[in-house]
Amino acid sequence: MMTLFVATRNRHKAQEMAAILGTAASVRDLAVLPGAPAAVEDAATFEGNAAKKAVALAAWLLGEGRRHLPPDGPWFALADDSGLEVDALGGAPGVASARFAAVDDTTGRAASLDNTPDADNNAKLLRLLAAVPWEQRTARFRCALALAPLSRESGLGEIRVFTGKCEGRIGFAPRGEHGFGYDPLFYPVGHEQTFAELGEEVKNRISHRAQALAALRDYLQGQGML
């Protein structure tokens, strides 16, 4: 069985990946990789951050963390970077989506790269959009997945990046109990419910991450690995 070591401590993301890729892949997140390093997510793009995280995890797995590699491959380090772009805010929060509450409204910079609570991020987004009508609350979720193949003999292989996006609008108040992040505020195009109301089954078909994972799955199937 193929093993995907996912560079995330967000259990929701890992569960979404496992659900979409199916039983042919064993998905392991950082919760089962004690000592794995956390890459600094300071790139200007989702693709750049995903690649940084994948390379950092791959290097650790091929060195200090080699004991975590199963006897048989193939093995991959997989990293996700994703976020929300709101047109009325010039594309913000973008790569700062997970720490949006700490971003200075004037400079666009955060004092720290640490994540801020989902509730705080959502509250700030609603505050900034308070005077923006529904028609102008267009937004999209974007996802970039960086896949780094690992080999005991040849080390780190060529990194491939897969992307996806989901268009929608931002609501006026949180709705729904499922999902995480901005899901309670995001209405995907063609739906009158938020991601948090639609639930995992629908979200895992239409989300930005679902699209990126579908592209990843197609690639792995084409390589005979799934």
Model confidence pLDDT, tens digit, residues 43-74: 999 999 999 999 999 999 999 999 999 998 89
Q: How far apart are CA 67 and CA 62, in angstroms?
A: 9
> Could you tell me which residue, 212 or 153, shows the higher pLDDT?
212
CA separation for the pair 26, 96 (Å, rounded): 29
| DSSP code of residue 141 | E
Which range marks the domain in which residue 110 is found?
2-222
Query: What total number of domains does the chain contain?
Result: 1
Report helix, strand or coil for 50: helix
* Predicted confidence (pLDDT) at residue 226 exceeds the cutoff of 80: no
Mean of all residue pLDDT scores within the chain? 92
* Positions marked active-site: 81
Task: Give me the CATH number covering residue 61.
Answer: 3.90.950.10
Given a cut of 80, whether residue 42 has pLDDT beyond it is yes
Higher pLDDT residue, 127 or 106?
Answer: 127
